[in-house]
Amino acid sequence: MGKLAVIVAGGSGLRMGNELPKQFLLLEGKPILLHSIDAFLKTYPDIKIHLVIPKQYIEYTEELLRNFEYNSSIQIIEGGETRFHSVKNGIAGAQNGDIVFVHDAVRCLVSPQLIERCFTTAVKEGSAIPVVPIRDSMRRLSDDGHSEVVSREHLYAVQTPQTFKAEVLLPAFEIPYNVAFTDEATVVEYANEKVSIVEGEEQNIKITYPEDLLYAKWRLSLQKA
């Protein structure tokens, strides 16, 4: 059974206050996206990696991989107009029987245990979407400015790697793009396939703001202690 990790690195650095996209910012001396690659290679050394990058940063990324002495088997793929199109580019070449992980490059704290949990569930159920329960109280704001409490009992935050059998994921991405597609799970559901959830990890945050980078540095320091 083949394994493919599609690591999507299409974000900008605007909310981080940097011109350089956040996936390239250094974390413990290594660009964030390389930490994500490391997690998959550590879990499954034989896994194929498709790294989806904006066109203007492809040469920059190729140089990064050379400088950090990564195996040339990591394939860099040009991103698309939206996440949907970037993922569609990234999963090209997957074959029925493969397990395909789709992961945000800036979720650099993902653990091998979570990757394995997603793999095991996807093999059994066809899909595996990591989620964590919402801890905060929730309110819904109406158009008139009033708000109401929303029960958080059945609410979860969705993470990556969203993981699928290729025969589930590939046909789903043949349907036309829809603005309602927020992630791979919504695409698969739109194609009338059910998705299964697995327990995510609180540490598996998406690096978005400067304080997120500080948290990631702290988490990595704990692993070294």
Q: Per-residue DSSP letters for 37-76?
A: HHHHHHH-TT-EEEEEE-GGGHHHHHHHHHHTT--TTSEE
How is the chain split into domains, by residue range? 3-130+157-224
Share in percent of the chain as helix, strand, coil (round to 5): 35, 25, 40
Closest CA to 190 of 201, 179, 199: 179
**Position 225 confidence tier, pLDDT thresholds 50, 70, 90:** low
pLDDT (tens digit per residue) in 111-159: 999 999 999 999 999 999 999 999 989 899 988 889 999 888 889 999 9
Pairing of strands 162-165, 127-133: antiparallel
- pLDDT confidence of residue 173: 98
**Position 108 confidence tier, pLDDT thresholds 50, 70, 90:** very high
pLDDT (tens digit per residue) in 70-84: 987 799 999 999 999
CATH number of 3-130+157-224: 3.90.550.10
